[in-house]
Amino acid sequence: DGGITQSPKYLFRKEGQNVTLSCEQNLNHDAMYWYRQDPGQGLRLIYYSQIVNDFQKGDIAEGYSVSREKKESFPLTVTSAQKNPTAFYLCASTGQVDQPQHFGDGTRLSIL
Amino acid sequence: QQPVQSPQAVILREGEDAVINCSSSKALYSVHWYRQKHGEAPVFLMILLKGGEQKGHEKISASFNEKKQQSSLYLTASQLSYSGTYFCGTERGAQKLVFGQGTRLTINP
């Protein structure tokens, strides 16, 4: 079955530490996205990529970094510069324009 | 600009109807609707691509009024499984969506 796999499901970060969240898709989608969701809030765009080796900042990119070396993979690194990283992180992908976004099951990140 | 959803929360008894609105201060070209259960990924419901378009999915349907820059989601004869938070997302170019703050729907037996 095609889908998006995020790992790990839960992640704990120590102060000053960088952590990387994995996102893999086998839907053959070109576009991929990272969102942050805080309790009781909507989804805010962190980074997005429309094609391999290219990505753009979203609305809240500060303290985060991404790479897109393969079509299937779009990892997100939460750096030590992100002072309030505790949130639910969702990865999504989509195919052609005006198609729905498919979401992974999310990673819940907390500070130790 | 983030679309505004109303109401922010609604509580229903099973079998009752609900309407969730999504309004934007900017022109809308398409509207996506998703439902999210607590702690889970959002699940796609439907996309409306043209002004005036209406779509249905079982007892959930939606309309898109391009002139009013608004979309509405209709839930008819609600079931317990409809509980969750509903989000609208509006297209803002480059296949990006901006999501509303969500409407929490609670269905009681």
Strands (E), chain B: 4-6, 9-13, 18-23, 31-36, 43-48, 54-57, 60-65, 70-75, 84-91, 97-99, 103-108
Instruction: For A68, list phi and psi in degrees, rounded to 5.
Output: -145, 75
Chain B residues with beta carbon closer than 8 angstroms to that of A97: 95
C-alpha–C-alpha distance, residues B106 and A34, integer Å: 28
The letter for the amino acid at B77 is A
* pLDDT for A30 beyond 80: yes
Q: What is the pLDDT of residue B52?
A: 63
Chain A residue with CA closest to B8: the answer is A40
Q: Extract the residue ranges of chain B whose pLDDT is less than 50.
A: none
Let me know: does B36 contact B84? Beta carbons within 8 Å.
yes
- A41–chain B nearest CA distance, Å: 6
* pLDDT for A1 beyond 80: no
Q: What is the pLDDT of residue B33?
A: 95
Chain A residue with CA closest to B29: the answer is A98
C-alpha–C-alpha distance, residues A93 and B75, integer Å: 27
Max alpha carbon distance in chain B (Å)?
A: 43
- State the average pLDDT over residues A9-15: 91
Q: What is the pLDDT of residue B54?
A: 66
Residue-wise pLDDT for A44-85, tens only, equals 999 999 999 999 999 999 999 999 999 999 999 999 989 899
C-alpha–C-alpha distance, residues B56 and A9, integer Å: 33
Q: Does B38 touch chain A (CB under 8 A)?
A: no
